Amino acid sequence: MASGFDTTTQARMQTNEANWDARTSVHVASKFYGLDGTMDAFDWFAEFEWEDLGELSGRDVLHLQCHLGTETIAFAHKGARTVGLDFSGEAVIQAKRIAEQAEVEIEYVQSNVYDAVEVLGGGRFDVVYTGKGALCHLPDVNRWAVLVAELLRPGGRLYLVEFHPLLNALGPEPREATQELLLRHDYLEGCGAEENDWPYTYTDGPALQGETASYQWVHSLGEVVNALIDVGLRITKLREVELLPWQCWEEMVPAGKGWWRLPDTEPRVPLMYALCANKSG
Ligand SMILES: C[S@@+](CC[C@H](N)C(=O)[O-])C[C@H]1O[C@@H](n2cnc3c(N)ncnc32)[C@H](O)[C@@H]1O
């Protein structure tokens, strides 16, 4: 499993895997993921994402760290041959069930991201999509960039849509109505793993039954961009946007189609970023 990492990092990823297994049943029943029919796969995408992704019909699309497949299903609906990969066995079981219920064909694979090339084969995908809470769980972005480049066909494209490292640096959390957003956490990488022990997950729902410990790693925008440049991918677009797909703070206002932004009284800061990077054809 994910060979090439030191034993401490391997153990941390194993803890994360158990933590995601424990989160899965809570997420499936949560209002946040809306799997009772209150949310649609397309609710997880902003308009600009479809502009950037372009035509997907007949394309081979891989969703790395797909979790319950709540976004993955949208690619299948767009006519893509779709594969989802995640290391949580519980998440993959649920993703398969959810796809079956939605009557869409998706191949779900249980694997660590770092083993994706061995498991799926290299040079196989037109689009690798990932993000919205994915990279912060990975210890090494350089190794991630190498495998993304290997998974892509010549002419293929990575589309990464991620929470902005500035969002992750903001605090305090939870935020009282009177408190200003302040820089409370690292923006820059290099401080090692952040260890958490949270009895609850980020969705609504009961306390976790199982592993509550987890590890995260900070990855700045510069670190991600340079990792992709170093493996020869050509970055063709980098958007920084003020949108989030959920209401992170009470004062956020609707931005249309279920998305949220800070009100005009707050400074305009990026909360997500989206990046297209092409493999030369
Ligand atoms: C927040 S989800 C991101 C997917 C999606 N945006 C969502 O919100 O449902 C993070 C996913 O990354 C997976 N994950 C974390 N580290 C991983 C790794 N090393 N290999 C494969 N999957 C991993 C977890 O199991 C989890 O399903």
Q: Output the pLDDT for position 114.
A: 98
| Residue 34: domain span | 7-278
Nearest CA to ligand 1 atom 16: 137
Give domain status of residue 1, yes or no: no
Residue owning the nearest CA to atom 26 of ligand 1: 67
The pLDDT tens digits for 215-233 are: 999 999 999 999 999 999 9
Q: What is the pLDDT of residue 206?
A: 98
Nearest CA to ligand 1 atom 7: 67
pLDDT for residue 24 is more than 90: yes
CATH code for position 86: 3.40.50.150
Q: What pLDDT score does 177 carry?
A: 62
Residue 2 lies in a domain: no
Give the pLDDT band (50/70/90) at residue 261: very high
Residue 158 lies in a domain: yes
Report CA(17)–ligand 1 centroid distance (Å).
Answer: 9
CA-wise closest residue to 161 among 127, 189, 124, 135:
135
Contacts of 216 by beta carbon, 8 Å cutoff, 6+ apart? 136, 137, 193, 194, 196
H or E element: which one contains 148? helix 141-151
Mean local confidence (pLDDT), 89-100: 98
Pocket of ligand 1 (CB under 6 A): 13, 16, 20, 65, 67-68, 70-71, 86-88, 91, 112-113, 132-134, 137-138
Atom of ligand 1 nearest to the CA of 13: 19
Burial status of residue 267 (CB atoms within 10 A of its CB: 0-12, 13-18, 19 or more): exposed
Q: Which DSSP letter does residue 193 get? A: P
What is the distance between the alpha carbons of residues 279 and 281, in angstroms, rounded to a whole number?
6
Q: How many residues does the chain have?
A: 281
Each residue's pLDDT tens digit, 131-172: 999 999 999 999 999 999 999 999 999 999 999 999 999 987
pTM of the model: 0.96
| Average pLDDT of the residues in 190-218 | 95
What percentage of the chain has pLDDT greater than the value 90? 87
Q: How many domains does the chain have?
A: 1
Residue 145 lies inside a defined structural domain of this protein = yes
Mean pLDDT, the chain, integer: 95
Nearest CA to ligand 1 atom 1: 133
